[in-house]
Structure 1
Amino acid sequence: MAILVLAEHDNASLKLDTAKVVTAAKAIGTEIHVLVAGHECAAVAAAAQQLDGVTRVLVADAAAYQAHLAENLAKLILELAPGYEHILASASSVGKDTLPRVAALLDVAQISEVLQVLSGDTFVRPIYAGNAMAKVQSLDDKKVLTVRASAFDATANGGNAGLETIDKVIEARTQFVSQSLTVSERPELGNAGIIVSGGRGMGSGENFAMLEALADSLGAAVGASRAAVDAGFVPNDLQVGQTGKIVAPDLYIAVGISGAIQHLAGMKDSKVIVAINKDPEAPIFQIADYGLTADLFEAIPELIAAIKA
């Protein structure tokens, strides 16, 4: 039962999500191949070779794959598809852009946001913003799956997979023009062990400096609710929730966040949830492990001072 996993990377380093998707693949079968498509990505391929459970790494190294355009990747995967029964990718922006195209070209149904693998054809995925779980069985010859990486632990290193070069270069009509990225020394939101998130209660974007100071004292990432993003307090790449990033850190600190269903869907799997809100009836307290009913503008400076003491 051969499985193809699309690697998530930036052409220089392999993202942790790939190791988590490999864990999901290991629950399906033992013949796991990782596709590394990019440009000047030898370091990424070497990292993929070390993932436990991976038996082969396929490398497509060409300028056409540098920007990871879905049109190019989907057609490349289509070329490789005859040799695989399962095709997996992280439910990231790249995976969610690429695999639906692959499924359409293969004329099969995609199963999205897989949280659990029950067997080679049966999976668990969330519905109704995560308020219910659906057990889905696929009878298609090829299973195309996006995996919610936060639901799986990363597979360990220690593997020694073989390397195979893919010479097929696919040029799509779509062209990469530019991208604007938020540069930060803090941990990446999707892989952070601790996340400090702010909501509409922060009042303004300037007040997020307080959360950034708290995050820096904890070595944490900074997140936000959709309400804070829509209000223009912070850029949308910090959004946690159903329409943002799905996270499951060891510690999630929600500050000034009421707890709308949209937000809870993105963070309720966190190991420990701490809520700080002046409204004792805020829904966030229903799922929080620890709650503090207080004015955040007093509580956060006191918390920072206590951490530094």
Structure 2
Amino acid sequence: MAALVIADHDGAHLRDTTHKTVTAALALSSDVDVLVYGEGVKTVAEAASKIAGVRKVLVAESADLKQDIAEDVAALITGLAVNYDAVAIPASASGKNFAPRIAAALDVSLLSDVIEVVDGSTFVRPIYAGNALETVQTSEAKKVLTVRTTAFKAAAEGGSASVETVTAPATKAGTRFISEEKVTSDRPELGAAKIIVSGGRALGSKEEFDAVIDPLADKLGAAVGASRAAVDAGYAPNDYQVGQTGKVVAPELYIAVGISGAIQHLAGMKDSKVIVAINKDPEAPIFSVADYGLVADYKTAIPDLMKALG
């Protein structure tokens, strides 16, 4: 059995979600290749070739693939999938977009949000917002799976895989790229951050959210997150959202400020190594998963914490 891992990158840097997906793929097969697609991705391909356990890196260069349009990416991967028994895709927003198209084109079931590979045909995935785990067994010849990367350790460096160029198929008509707006920040990326400070609806306004959460995050060198309620209220942008319909994170330290802890939010952060919750409601569900809970008003707790940090 050979497995193809789809690289996750920003066009210049390989994200560690790729290393974690390689770990999942190695539980399926000892023959693991990595596909890097986009434009000007030579540096990314070189980084992928150094991942331990990778046999070969396939590079598909195309200006059309740079925009990550699902139809084009799915067409590329579907064509390559004939040579593989499994396709492993990081469960990012992009991966979740094109993975179902690949499974449909191959006429197989999609194994989504895999958190454990038991063997070549058995997988574990969370259901009911992570409150239960489902073991899925499939007899299909080809497997297409999205990998919840927070559940896997990153594969080590030290590999020396060969790099091979593949031809991207012609662009499919019907979808075209119009424009994009990129948000740049000096803070760590939310999905890869070791420390995350998240705020909830209790902060009351965008101005209060920025005044309370941002300084604490800057002090700790942390990424900023938010509950869905805070995002819906306009306190924070969509890409800050942590939860079942946002980003699933598992940092070393997660600080939840004014977050009640709805099931949707807990599903996205309860695998964090250490969870600190600050909420004035002693019955808040967030305390059920917190390692350390402080029943207090954030308006006094956060200034005290900032003072203690120096």
When normalised by structure 2's length, the TM-score is 0.98
Secondary structure at the counterpart of residue 207 of structure 1:
helix
Deviation at 1:172, TM superposition (A): 2.0
Q: 2:223 & 2:283 partners in 1: Cα distance? A: 27
Residue of structure 2 in register with 1:224 after alignment? 226
Secondary structure at the counterpart of residue 206 of structure 1:
helix
In the alignment, is the contact (CA less than 8 A) between 1:246 and 1:265 conserved in 2? yes
Which amino acid in 2 is paired with 1:171?
T
| Deviation string, structure 1 residues 211-261 (Cα, Å, up to 9, x no partner) | 111011111000000000011111111000000000000100000000100
Instruction: Report the aligned-residue RMSD.
Output: 0.8
Q: 2:60 & 2:26 partners in 1: Cα distance? A: 23
| Deviation string, structure 1 residues 251-308 (Cα, Å, up to 9, x no partner) | 0000000010000000000000000000111111111000001110111111112112
Which amino acid in 2 is paired with 1:189?
L
Q: Which moved more, 1:179-188 or 1:221-230?
A: 179-188
Which amino acid in 2 is paired with 1:281?
E
In the alignment, is the contact (CA less than 8 A) between 1:242 and 1:265 conserved in 2? yes
Q: 2:150 & 2:63 partners in 1: Cα distance? A: 31
Q: 2:168 & 2:294 partners in 1: Cα distance? A: 57
1:134 paired to 2:134: yes
Residue of structure 2 in register with 1:215 after alignment? 217
In the alignment, is the contact (CA less than 8 A) between 1:196 and 1:253 conserved in 2? yes
Q: 1:229 & 1:42 partners in 2: Cα distance? A: 37
Deviation at 1:168, TM superposition (A): 3.0
Which amino acid in 2 is paired with 1:252?
Y
Q: Which runs of 4+ in 1 moved over 4 A?
A: none
Residue of structure 1 in register with 2:185 after alignment? 184
Q: Quick one: percent identity of the two aligned structures?
A: 59
Which amino acid in 1 is paired with 2:254?
Y
267, 277, 281: which one pairs with 1:279?
A: 281
In the alignment, is the contact (CA less than 8 A) between 1:64 and 1:169 conserved in 2? no
Q: 1:299 & 1:171 partners in 2: Cα distance? A: 55
> Where does 1:246-265 land on structure 2 (aligned, <5 Å)?
246-265=248-267
Deviation at 1:62, TM superposition (A): 1.2
Q: 1:86 & 1:242 partners in 2: Cα distance? A: 26
Q: 1:163 & 1:169 partners in 2: Cα distance? A: 19
> Where does 1:8-47 land on structure 2 (aligned, <5 Å)?
8-47=8-47
Secondary structure at the counterpart of residue 183 of structure 1:
coil
Deviation at 1:29, TM superposition (A): 1.1
In the alignment, is the contact (CA less than 8 A) between 2:5 and 2:88 conserved in 1? yes
Q: 2:181 & 2:36 partners in 1: Cα distance? A: 23
Secondary structure at the counterpart of residue 10 of structure 1:
coil
Q: 2:92 & 2:185 partners in 1: Cα distance? A: 19
- The alignment of Structure 1 onto Structure 2 pairs a total of residues equal to 308
Which amino acid in 2 is paired with 1:255?
V
Q: 1:204 & 1:297 partners in 2: Cα distance? A: 13
In the alignment, is the contact (CA less than 8 A) between 1:76 and 1:170 conserved in 2? no
Secondary structure at the counterpart of residue 308 of structure 2:
helix
286, 291, 298: which one pairs with 1:289?
A: 291
Residue of structure 2 in register with 1:238 after alignment? 240
Structure 2 runs not aligned, ≥5 long: none
Residue of structure 2 in register with 1:116 after alignment? 116
Deviation at 1:180, TM superposition (A): 2.1
Which amino acid in 2 is paired with 1:99?
A
| Deviation string, structure 1 residues 181-214 (Cα, Å, up to 9, x no partner) | 3211100000000000000111111112221110
In the alignment, is the contact (CA less than 8 A) between 1:253 and 1:274 conserved in 2? yes
Q: 2:34 & 2:8 partners in 1: Cα distance? A: 10
Structure 1 runs not aligned, ≥5 long: none
In the alignment, is the contact (CA less than 8 A) between 2:75 and 2:169 conserved in 1? no
Residue of structure 2 in register with 1:202 after alignment? 203
Residue of structure 2 in register with 1:56 after alignment? 56
Residue of structure 2 in register with 1:86 after alignment? 86
| Deviation string, structure 1 residues 42-86 (Cα, Å, up to 9, x no partner) | 000000000111110000011121111111111111111111000
Secondary structure at the counterpart of residue 177 of structure 1:
coil
Which amino acid in 1 is paired with 2:292?
Y
Q: 2:236 & 2:64 partners in 1: Cα distance? A: 33
1:298 paired to 2:300: yes
Secondary structure at the counterpart of residue 9 of structure 1:
coil
Q: 1:161 & 1:257 partners in 2: Cα distance? A: 45
In the alignment, is the contact (CA less than 8 A) between 1:45 and 1:57 conserved in 2? yes
Q: Which moved more, 1:52-61 or 1:9-18?
A: 9-18
In the alignment, is the contact (CA less than 8 A) between 1:62 and 1:169 conserved in 2? no
Deviation at 1:170, TM superposition (A): 2.6
